[in-house]
Amino acid sequence: MSYAMSNCKWLLSRTNREYVDYVSKLTGFSIPLAQTMINRGIKTAGQLDSFLNPRLTMLADPFDLPGMAKAVRRIADAVQSGERIFIHGDYDADGVTATAIVMDALKKLGSEPRYHIPARAFGYGLGSEGIKKAKESKASLIITVDCGITSFEAVSAANSIGIDVIVTDHHEPVRDTTSANPAGRFVLPDAFTVVNPKLAQGPSPSADLSGAGVAFKLAQALLGNSLDNVLELIDLAALGTAADVVPVVGDNRIILKEGLKLIQSGVRPGIKALKEVAGIKPGSMRTTALHFMLIPRINAAGRIADANDVVKLLLTDSDDEAMRLAEWLNGLNVRRQEIGESVFSEAMDMLQASGIGPEGTGAIVVCKEGWHRGVLGIVAAKMTEIFYRPSFILSVEAGVARGSARSIPSFDIYHGLSRCNELLMTFGGHKQAAGLSLSSGDIDSFRDMISRLVLETVAEDDMVPVLRIDAPLKLSDVTADFVREITCLEPFGYGNEEPVFGAKRLEIVQSRIVGNNHLKMYLKQNGKGIDSIGFDLGGMLDEVGPGAMVDAAFVPMMNEWDGGRNLQLNLKSVRESENRV
């Protein structure tokens, strides 16, 4: 995310210099990198070792997850007795990777499972369509992955026709917050068992697993609790982990780091083909390549088509089939981008016409009949970035508004929706992302209620984006060795963001717009010059002419272009230099 001048608050982290020196000596890192580690709460020798050297042996035991032992016993019985097992997934990247993981594990056990990825039109989670498909396949056991924690009616319907349901999920369970239960105990579907890290009591390295992470744990538990038996699946778990934007800490950090190595190797035909159609060059894989190149293509099918063939892509052993399916996804992704831009443009026009802006508004709620539901989450994310308010983008069909929501760090959107429950037909999700449906006649009431909740619970200062700067730098500090140091902190993601540094009083030698509204500048300080690029900051060109003095917040990087490599600053924000401390 990038911010133009004065659109965000800059916060510089500071720590006692003696302690920074201690961490620097302990790790061998430079002072700015030592400060960065401290900013992430990594301070002791043990913490530093586990963060810098995450190892597979550090993964928590899958049987620590609530419900896991009971799930494994039931699945083992089903396999032994030849029961048909039906896997019900979800249409996003986390859901399809989780489905592929459990499919692979069951096949290794000698089972012949069936799977189903619902179309977005049928809504999120296990529903009547899924139960119908399971019955048609003559299944006696359903395993949900990345869904099911709120599928009360569907689980009861399955039970009524003699089908057991094992729910594996990572989404927030429903809490009973009635006066009789002031602590808010969980209310769970009447499943055979529920495997969900959110049900664990106390802290756990598995607490923030994605749906694919939970599926990976289930696969490990099923296959003799041996990591050796599931290591070839960790690339799929890493894709799901990155896609669901879960914190890159604990088990997630290990899964992502090890999975990136396997993704880089290209041993899985489906991922190899996806990398090829996305134009990813051979070399080290970074999480940015997952987020911007692979995951959007995997998600494209579930957004505007049918995601069942994505599971086929992830499991195929055929290079030809993999390439055919990858090219199909690539084409869908282009179409998804076109649809998303159209809906975004219409939503912005509607907001402008209504006079709604960020001032005095708690939440952005925009709806229109006929919008493609597959792109609403992307549009909501863009709206949240622009207005820095929780955003709800809804499409109306047959009197029902369905859509997606994205939030800012200071507002728990799932909790907010739970307080609007009287107006909603369905809802579910996380603290920062959710889905919902309601009667179109209740949209205005919902807009007023959710906006009021935001204004009541979020301080005014928390509705201004904050750019946290890990440490100050001089341009002379930006070297190839320093960039290599930064890579030791990878993989980056939510909870372990790429470090941002700041430098003051930089002279602009040249400035111009390149590509799609990107700001390109050559900056100089005390005789040291360096290139910089500010993605989507082209609108600032008039404010940053040659000779101007600016402060910059940036990520140092090596830019590889046309066979060459040179240092470059990836600008996150720029402001006019003043006499600042």
Q: Determine phi and psi for 313, rounding to 5 degrees.
A: -60, -45
Mean pLDDT of the chain: 92
Annotated domain spans of the chain:
57-265, 356-463, 466-576
Query: Residue 5: which pLDDT band, with cuts at 50, 70 and 90?
Result: very low
CA distance 9 to 3: 10
Supply the pTM of this predicted model.
0.88
Place of tokens 């470090």: 499
Q: How many Cβ atoms from other residues are within 10 Å of residue 517's Cβ? A: 13
Mean pLDDT (whole number) for 419-431: 90
d(CA 309, CA 322): 10
384: closest CA among 443, 454, 332, 286? 454
- Band of residue 184 on the pLDDT scale cut at 50, 70, 90: low
State the greatest distance between any 2 C-alpha atoms of the chain, in Å, as a whole number. 78
35 pLDDT higher than 70? yes
The pLDDT assigned to 54 comes to 92
Tokens 């939970």 locate to: 214
Inform me whether the pLDDT recorded for 545 exceeds 80: yes
Phi, psi of 150 (to 5 degrees): -115, 15
Tell me, what's the pLDDT at 180? Answer: 57
Which value, in Å, is the radius of gyration of the alpha carbons in the chain?
Answer: 25
- CATH, domain range 356-463: 3.10.310.30
522 forms bridges with which residues in the sheet? 510, 531
Strands 400-406 and 193-195: unpaired
Which pLDDT band, with edges at 50, 70 and 90, does 3 fall under? very low
Helix and strand numbers (H, E) in the chain are: 19, 20
For the purposes of burial, counting CB atoms within 10 Å of the CB of 282, is it exposed (0-12), middle (13-18) or buried (19 or more)?
exposed
Which whole number is the average pLDDT over 326-330?
A: 97
Can you give the pLDDT at residue 4? 46
Q: In DSSP terms, which residues pair with 576 in a beta bridge?
A: 550
Supply the pLDDT for residue 177: 67
Secondary structure element (H or E) that encloses residue 520, with its range: strand 518-525
Of the given ranges (154-163, 255-264, 291-300, 538-547), which has the lowest mean pLDDT?
538-547
Helix, strand, coil percent values for the chain (each to nearest 5): 45, 20, 30
Q: At what angle do helices 295-304 and 93-108 cross, to 10 degrees?
A: 100
Say what the pLDDT of residue 181 is: 55
Asked if 507 and 528 count as a contact pair (C-beta separation under 8 A), the reply is no
Q: What is the pLDDT of residue 539?
A: 85
What is the C-alpha to C-alpha distance for residues 511 and 534, in angstroms, rounded to an integer? 11
What does the alpha-carbon distance between residue 569 and residue 533 come to, in Å, rounded to a whole number? 6
Q: Could you list the beta-strand ranges (E) of 177-221.
A: 185-187, 193-195
Task: Tell me the backbone φ, ψ of residue 465, rounded to 5 degrees.
Answer: -60, 140
pLDDT tens readout for residues 356-386: 666 678 999 999 999 999 999 999 999 998 8
Residue 160 has φ and ψ, to the nearest 5°, of -65, -20
* DSSP E strands, 149-238: 164-168, 174-176, 185-187, 193-195
Question: What does the DSSP 8-state code read for residue 532?
Answer: E
User: What's the length of the chain?
Assistant: 581
User: What is residue 240's predicted lDDT score, i.e. its pLDDT?
Assistant: 97
Query: Which one has a higher pLDDT value, 4 or 41?
Result: 41
What is the rounded CA–CA span in Å between residue 411 and residue 476?
A: 39
pLDDT over 70 percentage in the chain: 96
Q: Quick check: helix, strand or coil at residue 371?
A: coil
Tokens of 470: 């890990």
Strands 426-429 and 433-439, sheet pairing: antiparallel
Q: In CATH, which of 1.10.101.10, 3.40.50.10190, 3.30.1490.20, 3.90.1640.30 is domain 57-265? A: 3.90.1640.30
Q: How confident is the model at residue 341, as a pLDDT?
A: 95
| Model pLDDT, residue 15 | 86
225-264 pLDDT per residue, tens: 999 999 999 999 999 999 998 899 999 999 999 999 999 9
Percentage above 90 pLDDT, the chain: 77
Question: What pLDDT does residue 581 have?
Answer: 39
At residue 554, does pLDDT exceed 90?
yes
CB 378 within 8 A of CB 340: yes
Element (H or E) spanning 340, and its range?
helix 319-354
Question: Residue 295: how many CB atoms within 10 A of its CB?
Answer: 23
The set of long-range contacts for 398-401, using a CB threshold of 8 Å and a minimum separation of 24, is 399/439, 399/440, 399/441, 400/425, 400/437, 400/438, 400/439, 400/440, 401/367, 401/437, 401/438, 401/439, 401/440, 401/443
Higher-scoring residue by pLDDT: 334, 7: 334
Confirm if 283 and 266 have CB atoms less than 8 A apart: no
Mean pLDDT of 425-452: 92
DSSP assignment of 479-509, as one string? Answer: -HHHHHHHHTTPSPBTTBPPP-EEEEEEEEE
**What CATH number does the domain located at 466-576 have?**
2.40.50.460
Structure tokens at 417: 């929706």
